Amino acid sequence: NAGVMQNPRHLVRRRGQEARLRCSPMKGHSHVYWYRQLPEEGLKFMVYLQKENIIDESGMPKERFSAEFPKEGPSILRIQQVVRGDSAAYFCASSPPQTSGPRYFGAGTRLSVL
Amino acid sequence: DAKTTQPTSMDCAEGRAANLPCNHSTISGNEYVYWYRQIHSQGPQYIIHGLKNNETNEMASLIITEDRKSSTLILPHATLRDTAVYYCIVRVQESQGAQKLVFGQGTRLTINP
């Protein structure tokens, strides 16, 4: 059973471009969480999704950021018109139904905005 | 969610037991204590969680005081690979609903050879 898979591992974008980060949860997991970690800072919750539903997006910036977890395929975190301050490590986690909180984390996507 | 307090950093000699404390004096009766760690540049790793009884698994032991106001994570035989930031989090365990975990600053544990 493969772990939580995130790709790409590293992503470089120029200011104003779009960034798409993908997360494939573990098999059988229907809950996905996204966290962001700025350099030398702690992990900050962004959004919690179940299949086709956003459950809690209280940590998402109001503009430019969106997330989805479609019925088929990976969860996508989309950042439009990236700025240098978006440079960070973005971690995805998944958990099975009936489990409280994110249990298994991916290796992360490191976004660098030039 | 109850707030936790952890030392900023700790050192431990390789092969010795590493004891990481966590204070959660405002914990309520239905809140669990979770421990995660993050090895440099990697994703966080779940270690263990408990409510009021001591817990043990293949990675660590969790000792929760009787009044539940504090707990200690024990790595029985620390290795260099245990060098990481360790996070203590308290959270209500629910089967449904928003279940985000809020990570604090954690304890930076350094295992020395």
On the question of pLDDT at A18 being above 90, the answer is yes
Residue keyed to tokens 């471009």? A17
**Per-residue model confidence as pLDDT tens digits over A58-82:** 899 999 999 999 988 999 999 999 9
Name the residue in chain A with its Cα closest to that of B95: A98
d(CA A108, CA B10): 26
On the question of pLDDT at B96 being above 70, the answer is no
Closest CB to B44: pick one of A91, A98, A100.
Answer: A91
Inter-chain contact B44–A42, Cβ cutoff 8 Å? no
Q: By the 8 A CB rule, do B20 and B73 touch?
A: yes
Instruction: For chain B, give the percent of residues with pLDDT over 70.
Output: 92
d(CA B47, CA B72): 13
pLDDT of residue B64: 96
On the question of pLDDT at A1 being above 60, the answer is no
Q: Compute the nearest-CA separation of B36 from chain A (Å).
A: 9
Contacts with A36 (C-beta within 8 Å, 6 or more apart), sequence order:
A43, A44, A46, A59, A88, A89, A90, A91
- Banded pLDDT at A51 (limits 50, 70, 90): confident
On the question of pLDDT at B112 being above 90, the answer is yes
Inter-chain contact A100–B95, Cβ cutoff 8 Å? yes
Q: Compute the nearest-CA separation of B10 from chain A (Å).
A: 18
> What is chain A's mean pLDDT, rounded?
92
On the question of pLDDT at A45 being above 70, the answer is yes
On the question of pLDDT at B85 being above 80, the answer is yes
Inter-chain contact B46–A100, Cβ cutoff 8 Å? no
Kindly report which listed range (A7-21, B23-37, B75-89) carries the lowest average pLDDT score.
B23-37
Name the residue in chain A with its Cα closest to that of B99: A101
Name the residue in chain A with its Cα closest to that of B31: A100
